[in-house]
Amino acid sequence: MNRLQILLTDWVVLPSLAVLVTCASALDDNPPKTLQLDLGEGVKLDLVLVPAGEFHMGAPESENERQSAEEPVHKVKITRPFYLGAFEITNVQSRRFRPGHHSRYLDGDNQPALWVSWYDADAFCHWLSQKIQRNVRLPSEAEWEYACRAGTATRFFNGDQAQQKFSPNLDKAGCSGSNSRGLSKEVGKFIPNAFGLYDMHGNVWEWCSDWYDPFYLGGNVKDPQGPPLGVTKVIRSGSWKGLNRFCRSASRGSSIPFITGSNVGFRVVLAPASP
């Protein structure tokens, strides 16, 4: 994360939105490692650069609590870097889009925005895209798992070998039913992974762009987007009210896109600007 020397900070003012961009020297072809969007009224949205690369998606046969939907393990290549929200979209951020948004008894400003359907999350992305004149979207399922793993192959990004029957490392990395005390947590309260992303294990399930397919096709693939049609959308991460096994890096879930609930939210992707 320190290889790129940060040299200056610029404000770029766009219609109804200011974008605080931490920039590198014009002589450096690499994109900045972090971006911060100012949503107004002092509300910021932090994003972290996830580099392009390859990983093995899914859970091996030896992984404890593995589900059939997580097989077969297959190599995936993410061909382009992308910015991913360092945190889940929060209630205060959601209210910049829809002032009347409330997450009922989980409505703290810095708690994840809940009771948000896939269509609501997609609408937030379109709103932000128009404001900054850049493409903001939900992550694909492959992007999400790649970002969650951050170069690891264990059950959680901070450890637990495949055969372990318990989840001692999860309490440090995220919020699940075993340590939530019946509430979602403010974002950023657990340790980040190697990419600088928080709450990738638990707290809330997160909507992905893909339609859900109960089986991976396998083989080597590049930038998979899921099936063209479907009934449910992919959700990832597990949640504050779920079992630890659903918080594993490889765990998959799905939900009808117009359904809302107390344990499903989202984070966003922004593609780096073209050179």
pTM score above 0.85 = yes
Q: If one looks up domain 52-270 in CATH, what number appears?
A: 3.90.1580.10
Q: In this model, does residue 208 exceed pLDDT 90?
A: yes
Residue environment code for 126-151, b if the CB has 16+ CB neighbours within 10 A, otherwise e: eebeebbebebbbbbbbbbbbbbbbe
pLDDT tens digit sequence for 220-255: 999 999 999 999 999 999 999 999 999 999 999 999
pLDDT digits (tens, 9 = 90+) for 16-68: 333 333 333 333 468 899 999 999 999 999 999 999 999 999 999 999 999 99
Q: Give the residue extent of every domain in the chain.
A: 52-270
Gap between the Cα atoms of 26 and 17, Å rounded: 24
Q: If DSSP codes are grouped into helix, strand and coil, which group holds residue 254?
A: strand
pLDDT in tens, 128-179: 999 999 999 999 999 999 999 999 999 999 998 777 777 888 999 999 999 9
